Amino acid sequence: MNYIRNSEDRGAVNLGWLESKHSFSFGHYYDPNHMGVSVLRVINDDTVKPGQGFGKHGHRDMEIISYVLEGALKHEDSEGNKHIVAAGDIQRMSAGTGVMHSEYNASKTDQVKFLQIWIQPNKTGVKPSYEQKNIPQKGPLTSLVNATGASGALSLNQDISLSRLVLTENEAFKLVSGKRLGYLHLINGQLKVEGQYFEAGDAFSVEPAQKLKLDALSTLEALWFELPVKK
């Protein structure tokens, strides 16, 4: 764990309608020590008030993932996609040659909370595309997004894997990074790793070929990224 990102140290934004915590430099928040990990460029922990949201804006050459934790998002884009992304759903938009889109809280009464994740692609200039699924948990670690869409996951234009880790209180789990760089972002719960304690919003990287024993101190949910080693 040569890189640890503590929740309370993240960049904070409060626009009234939006409260956000930025794991990495984004928008007006800039810290040269926190520019991302490998091709993982953004993890924004966003909470949007009822009926509010991100108006139509553009992206290109970026893989954008939204994982809804609470409430629902209303998505519309210039490719004709119109969807409600409910809690538990995972959404992937490949911006490619360019796409305009909006993301609004679908409710007029309840807030929506979601993680916005950006992955730098390994192909540029591709045709924009969109996928959305609700993927049931199968065991402690379940694949949500990978390069080929294997195991019922979403696909994207990069050699990464994004999985959801769910553990019960007092459950132990061995985390293995294999040949790639690992990054664990804790959504909720508490965790002990090699004598260090982590809670919701905390994250850390795992070097290739490293094995770590995780001890869940409560029921927890986390996102586990396996990322290419940059040369």
Which strands form 72-77's sheet, in the order they lie side by side? Answer: 53-59, 99-105, 72-77, 82-86
| Spatial CA neighbour of 67 closest among 36, 46, 37, 41 | 46
To the nearest whole number, what is the mean pLDDT of the chain? 96
Cβ neighbour number for residue 168 with a 10 Å cutoff: 11
Beta carbons of 110 and 50 less than 8 angstroms apart: yes
123/127 Cα distance (integer angstroms): 10
67: containing domain? 4-227
Segment 149-161 shows an average pLDDT of 97
pLDDT tens-digit profile of 164-199?
999 999 999 999 998 999 999 999 999 999 999 999
CATH number for the domain harbouring residue 220: 2.60.120.10
pLDDT tier, 230 (very low <50, low <70, confident <90, very high otherwise): confident
Predicted local confidence at residue 1, as pLDDT? 80
Tell me: pLDDT of 231 over 90.
Answer: no
Tens of pLDDT along 46-65? 999 999 999 999 999 999 99
Domain count, the chain: 1
Backbone angles phi, psi at 224, to 5 degrees: -115, 115
Q: Tell me the per-residue pLDDT of 60-104, one tens digit each, with 9 for 90 and over.
A: 999 999 999 999 999 999 999 999 999 999 999 999 999 999 999
